[in-house]
Structure 1
Amino acid sequence: MEYVGIMRTGERIAARRAELGFSQSELARHAGISQATIGKLESGISSGSSQMHKIARALQTTPDFLTGETDDPSLGAIPLPTPQMIAEQLGMTLIPEVDLHFALGGGSYVDGPVSSTLVPYRTDWLERITKGAQADVILTRGDGDSMMPTILDDDDVIVNRSDRVITKQDRIWALGYGDLVAIKRVRRLASGVFQLLSDNPNVSPIEAYEDELRVIGRVIWIGRRM
């Protein structure tokens, strides 16, 4: 955006706020000041404020830009830290929590895009359980009781997506087949057919051919709320 010719402080605040997509209330919240202060500056009722440094930081610029000393909003500005930067400073790694319950029964249908949020975990702990592959893990939750007592309904489950080749018997995997997703133990029979096994003895195994399966990853950690 071209700021040359926009000289009044309030006009610059309003223009920069619009460029970043903030409402007055959002800017006030980010800056930690009242919306009334923002409103008075933008309307011209106030020509300055002792909170200008807070407003400038929330707008990712400097007080010099807001007061017209420079027309470059990035000159001398300190960028706001990203969640990833904050996590790294705290020795944490952000992993996506996938908003999809992996079925512990017959399977859950995937009928739309899968969304996720980022959840912080200690980097050193993740390195131990993933053997250095923490960039390829997702956090999700089980849904159902067919994997009881190993995995309970709503348990947190970490899946290593870099491990997708089923080479050992009876490991627990996150799988897709057709439009279904599930967490199951997998056993390969001599015939080449895969058995999808539940730890609950009351649930019958499912048989599937290799080309029917989509291996999402191997389950490497299970967490439970008390």
Structure 2
Amino acid sequence: MSDEAGRARLLELAQASRASLASLSAMIGRNPSYLQQFVRKGSPRKLEEQDRRKLAEFFGVSETELGAPEENSYDSRLDATASSGGWVEVPRLDIGASAGPGALPVGEQAFDTFRFSARWLREQGFEGAQLSAIKVEGDSMEPLLRDGDEILVDRAPRAFRDGVHVVRLGDTVMVKRVASAGQGRFALLSQNMAYPPVEVAADEVEIIGRVVWKGGRV
């Protein structure tokens, strides 16, 4: 794939997953304008190999889609390779999804990974998903989600349907049950009845991804 096509594909993937180029730059440890300059100005001309691989892992695509030569390409969609032995690494992002009054995210940079069996992911119907792991903070989604639970969020672009999602409202990242409220509006609902529902216009909220799995201490 040409350098220009790789830049266009990166922009397409970012827009589809509703991830800003600034947040993606932070995720790979670069300054906020790094990927903006790469996409808009072609500077740098090519992504560093480690940066390209982190982005490919995040989006769940082959590095060739981001401009890597075929012979040097990593494909995170492959179930088993000699190095992974059939395991898929899911990034743990350095943010908390508030299940309370709301919290400002510190950043969106992966600080660790969970390793999942590729077979288990297929059995759960997660093949093709763009998974990230984040921690739940607060009690508004109890008893479904508790403070400290880790959740898997599928950021792959899909048609919206009601369910539990991680959303961004202003600068706040939160996990809520999101339901269509008609006429271009969404209702953000808590499981804990102590928290009233919040209704917002569709253009006021960014749906980051759907919560597809949870894990936590007993």
Asked whether the two chains share a fold, i.e. TM above 0.5, the reply is yes
- Once the two structures are TM-superposed, the CA of residue 209 in structure 1 deviates from its matched residue by 0.8
What is the Cα-based RMSD across aligned positions, in Å?
A: 2.0
Q: 2:111 aligns with which of 85, 109, 116?
A: 116
**Aligned counterparts of 2:214 and 2:107: Cα–Cα separation in 1:** 26
Against the structure 1 CA distance between its residues 199 and 87, is the aligned structure 2 distance closer, same or farther, given a 3 Å change threshold? Answer: farther
**Aligned counterparts of 2:90 and 2:126: Cα–Cα separation in 1:** 15
Unaligned runs of 5+ in 1: 1-83
Find the counterpart in structure 2 of residue 34 from structure 1.
none
- Once the two structures are TM-superposed, the CA of residue 163 in structure 1 deviates from its matched residue by 4.3
Count of residue pairs the alignment pairs up: 139
Pairwise mapping of residues 20-169 of structure 1 onto structure 2 (< 5 A)? Answer: 88-89=84-85, 91-112=86-107, 114-134=109-129, 136-166=130-160, 168-169=161-162
Sequence identity of aligned pairs in percent? Answer: 29
Unaligned runs of 5+ in 2: 1-79
Q: Structure 2-normalised TM-score? A: 0.58
Q: Deviations over 1:41-65 (max 9, x none)?
A: xxxxxxxxxxxxxxxxxxxxxxxxx
Against the structure 1 CA distance between its residues 118 and 87, is the aligned structure 2 distance closer, same or farther, given a 3 Å change threshold? Answer: farther
Q: Deviations over 1:150-208 (max 9, x none)?
A: 00000110000104542x23x00011111010000011113332110000011011111
- Once the two structures are TM-superposed, the CA of residue 128 in structure 1 deviates from its matched residue by 2.5
- Once the two structures are TM-superposed, the CA of residue 130 in structure 1 deviates from its matched residue by 4.0
- Once the two structures are TM-superposed, the CA of residue 106 in structure 1 deviates from its matched residue by 2.5
Pairwise mapping of residues 184-203 of structure 1 onto structure 2 (< 5 A)? Answer: 184-203=176-195
Against the structure 1 CA distance between its residues 111 and 99, is the aligned structure 2 distance closer, same or farther, given a 3 Å change threshold? Answer: closer
**Aligned counterparts of 2:172 and 2:82: Cα–Cα separation in 1:** 36
